Amino acid sequence: MLTWWRRVRVENEMLYLFLRRPVAQLAALAAFLSIMGALFAPLITPSNPYDLASFDILDSFLPPAWSDGGDPRFIIGTDDQGRDLYSSILYGTRLSLLIGLCSVAFAAVLGTALGVAAGYFGGRFDAVVMRIADVQLSLPAILTALLVDGVARGLLPRQQHEELLLVVLTVAIALSLWVDFARTARASTFVERNKEYVQAAEIMGLHPIRIMAVAILPNILGPLMVIGTVDLAVAILLEATLSFLGVGVPADQPSLGTLIDTGKDYMFSGEWWIVIFPAAMLISMIIAVNLLGDFFRAVLNPRLR
Amino acid sequence: MIGFVLRRLAQSVFVMLAVSLLAFAMFHYVGDPVEVMVGQETSIEDRERLREQLGLNDPVLTQYARFLGDLVTGNFGFSYRTRQPIGEMILSRMPATLELGFVSLLISLIIGIPAGIFTALRSGGLAAQTILVTTLVGISIPTFVIGLFLIYLFGVQLGWLPTYGRGDVVEIGWWKTSFASWSGLRALILPAITLGVYQLTLTMRLVRSEMQDVMNTDFIKFAIARGIDYRSVHYRHALRNSMVPVITIIGLQFGGIIAFSIVTESVFQWPGMGLLFLDSIRFVDIPVLSVYLVLIALIFVVINLIVDILYFVIDPRVRLKPEAG
């Protein structure tokens, strides 16, 4: 009964703060629109950019519909292959968000599990996990992701690598992010471990896994949520960067980073729309996620209000 | 003091051993060096002989020991792709990356620290709010987009600055520097800004939050209550105390800069280590990848070690705090 009441109060407080912050509302709206656009991309786009039959090379380099030489079929123009840019961007957003969310989810589960266990058991297990985290931290995220990708390239035969590219990419990004979760979860667990409710659960003879999952985890979710949001922005950024560098998503399934990479070659010859629109989409998505992260941080840390 | 340094040193050695093990595993299990070195028509016997010669039939532990020995003595082996010694390859690319990283770090500190102090002290003001919003945008724009935008504006539209390469470099011994020529300096501007923006926003936000934390402490409130003038409170008491964590981050940033220069170097075709690394990934040039991995980890670990020791020297609180975890 008590936890139920507490939860409602926290939720109301969050809602209250949310209603007082137009910036957070705007960010939430932008994030919502991106997610909706990504989810329903096939329904609200005129063509499927992954389907080779749906576009025509004769339509390539068409400028946005409102400018000279624009075609009303293509609202914001076409790329070098004649793909509708609007459709490509929504499909690209879909891919970017999917990879971002999956890798953060993977990193969160892995990092939180290791972190909570390390904080709860302490001792040798804790030392081992934290040393691994040290090693991981000595390699910047982008480097880890690139290395995992490079190794996968060497290990898997070419054909298989193409097929598994999205999985490899997700794992590569997740492996470079799990430490954030592990460290935060461990630090919070250290604090919770000695509180009465955990001791009570121990005296009741509950299994450690149950104590960690049912007692401790709900109480440390706050800071983890902040990390999750911030890391989602990082993951989207990493995916875009890797795709831009040409080691990310497969070439026939462009993500936003790939679109920018293709577009950059035409930027100098005046076809600015190919690079500007995907870049604007990518940046507004990351800004929205970062603003939401700031909001969560402010909600959880009263000192920042 | 000595105990602390030794403990940190042991930890660093452990990290390096782990990374080298990783590098060795990559080298050992990804691809077959013999396959890469020989041609199609080499007979199986020749291959076996080569395998024996290279010591690939030895126990794994022996091979790892040899790998470690080679790393320590600077014998890094040869690239699969170019057949050149890796040590030379990396060494010839290193000055470009280090110079680029150094200038970006400088930019991020020279602008980031004052901006952080300013926004902390005038947190309500319009100017400070504007700066804060700008940094959030700055943190959200991917490095490569910033680079492309700068190239478009200053390279293509205005035509003021070169958009790729290092310009004329001057050789001082084996170190090729862009600092010594006008065209080299000009070529450095755009990549350095591109690489510096992200670090700048980080520095600024960090200085700001540290400064705000310190301004909320009792000793600052007491100093203000005693009637010491604000200038002195801000710059002598608060700033000095908020600089300690900043040192740590600056140290860590340099490692981050070296890693992130991969992206910047790719955008500007800057002939540094990052570009070499990217090429090596595309061609699955495992020996180069593993040496690069060890090298970056080494840079990180050494910087971290120095920072921690500095920390220890500067901040007496660290010395008094019992080891946590």
| Residues A276/A281/A286/A292 CA torsion (nearest 10 deg) | 140
Residue A83: per-residue pLDDT: 77
Subunit contact B142:A286, Cβ cutoff 8 A: yes
User: How sure is the predictor about B325, in pLDDT bands with cuts at 50, 70 and 90?
Assistant: very low
Residue A232: per-residue pLDDT: 93
Subunit contact A247:B282, Cβ cutoff 8 A: yes
One domain for residues B210 and B239: yes
Q: Picking from A43-47, A173-177, A255-259, B201-205, which range would have the lowest pLDDT averaged per residue?
A: A43-47
Distances (CA, A) of A176 to A135, A170, A183, B12, B49: 11, 10, 13, 20, 40
Residue B324: per-residue pLDDT: 41
Residue A254: per-residue pLDDT: 79
For B274, which residue in chain A has the nearest alpha carbon?
A143
Q: Is residue B118 part of a domain?
A: yes
- To the nearest whole number, what is the mean pLDDT of chain B? 79
> pTM for the whole thing?
0.83
User: How sure is the predictor about A303, in pLDDT bands with cuts at 50, 70 and 90?
Assistant: low
Q: Is residue B163 part of a domain?
A: yes
Locate tokens 């139920």: which residue? A4
Tokens for A278, please give them. 């995907």
User: b/e per residue, A112-150, with b = 16+ CB within 10 A?
Assistant: bbbbbbbbbeeeeebeebbebbbbbbbbbbbbbbbbbbb
pLDDT at B149 over 80: yes
- Which of B75, B110, B136 is the endpoint of a domain? B75
Residue A235: per-residue pLDDT: 92
C-alpha span between B262 and B275 (Å, rounded): 6
C-alpha span between A91 and A105 (Å, rounded): 21
Q: Is residue B84 part of a domain?
A: no
C-alpha span between A27 and A260 (Å, rounded): 23
Q: Is residue B128 part of a domain?
A: yes
For A233, which residue in chain B has the nearest alpha carbon?
B140
A147 touches chain B (CB under 8 A): yes
Which amino acid belongs to residue A23? V
Q: Picking from A285-299, B102-116, B279-293, which range would have the lowest pLDDT averaged per residue?
A: B279-293
Size of interface A-B (CB pairs under 8 A): 123
Tokens for A167, please give them. 């999985």
Residue A103: per-residue pLDDT: 94
Subunit contact B296:A268, Cβ cutoff 8 A: no
One domain for residues B226 and B141: yes
3-class state of residue B44 by DSSP: helix
A129 touches chain B (CB under 8 A): no
One domain for residues B71 and B126: no
One domain for residues B43 and B131: no
Q: Which of A140, A154, A237 is facing B286, going by the closest CB pair?
A: A154
DSSP class of residue A78 equals: B
- CATH code at position B235: 1.10.3720.10
Q: Residues near B269 by Cβ (< 8 Å), separated by ≥ 6?
A: B164, B165, B275
Q: Residues near B261 by Cβ (< 8 Å), separated by ≥ 6?
A: B97, B100, B101, B195, B270, B272, B273, B274
Subunit contact B136:A134, Cβ cutoff 8 A: no
Residue B315: per-residue pLDDT: 67
Q: Is residue B61 part of a domain?
A: yes
Q: Please indicate whether residue A105 or residue B143 has the higher confidence score (pLDDT).
A: A105
Tokens for A73, please give them. 């079929």
Subunit contact B148:A241, Cβ cutoff 8 A: no
Q: What is the pLDDT of residues A134-167, one digit of tens each?
A: 778 777 778 888 888 777 877 777 677 777 788 8
pLDDT at B223 over 60: yes
pLDDT at B39 over 70: no
Residue range of the domain that includes B274: 89-319
Q: Residues near B259 by Cβ (< 8 Å), separated by ≥ 6?
A: A139, A140, A142, A143, B274, B296
Q: Is residue B307 part of a domain?
A: yes
One domain for residues B113 and B231: yes
A168 touches chain B (CB under 8 A): no
For A286, which residue in chain B has the nearest alpha carbon?
B140
Subunit contact A241:B142, Cβ cutoff 8 A: yes
Of the segments A35-39, A102-106, B313-317, which one has the largest average pLDDT value?
A102-106
Residue B237: per-residue pLDDT: 73
Q: What is the pLDDT of residues B226-239, one digit of tens each?
A: 877 777 777 777 77
Cβ contacts of B140 on chain A, cutoff 8 Å? 233, 237, 283, 286-287, 290
User: How sure is the predictor about A302, in pLDDT bands with cuts at 50, 70 and 90?
Assistant: low
Q: How many domains does chain B have?
A: 2
One domain for residues B41 and B127: no
pLDDT at B159 over 70: yes
Q: B314: how many CB neighbours lie within 10 A of its CB?
A: 13
Contact A256, A281 (CB under 8 A): yes
Q: What is the pLDDT of residues B15-30, one digit of tens each?
A: 888 888 888 888 777 7
3-class state of residue B254 by DSSP: helix
One domain for residues B68 and B112: no
Q: Please indicate whether residue A279 or residue B4 has the higher confidence score (pLDDT).
A: A279
One domain for residues B47 and B134: no
Q: Is residue B82 part of a domain?
A: no
Q: Is B62 exposed, middle or buried (0-12, 13-18, 19+ CB in 10 A)?
A: exposed
Subunit contact B325:A147, Cβ cutoff 8 A: no
Residue A115: per-residue pLDDT: 92
Q: Is the dihedral of CA B307, B308, B310, B315 positive or negative?
A: positive
One domain for residues B138 and B281: yes
DSSP symbols for B70-86 = HHHTT---B-TTT-SBH
Calculate mean pLDDT across residues A203-219.
Answer: 86
Subunit contact A134:B145, Cβ cutoff 8 A: no
One domain for residues B151 and B216: yes
Q: Is residue B83 part of a domain?
A: no
Which amino acid belongs to residue B186? R
Tokens for B254, please give them. 């340099």
ipTM attached to this prediction: 0.78
Q: What is the pLDDT of residues A58-115, one digit of tens each?
A: 666 667 766 676 666 666 777 777 677 888 888 888 888 999 999 999 999 999 999 9
- φ and ψ at residue B176, rounded to 5 degrees: -95, 120
Boundaries of every domain in chain A? 72-300
- Which of B23, B43, B75 is the endpoint of a domain? B75
Q: What is the pLDDT of residues B62-87, one digit of tens each?
A: 888 888 888 887 777 777 777 788 88
Tell me yes or no: is domain A72-300 CATH 1.10.3720.10: yes
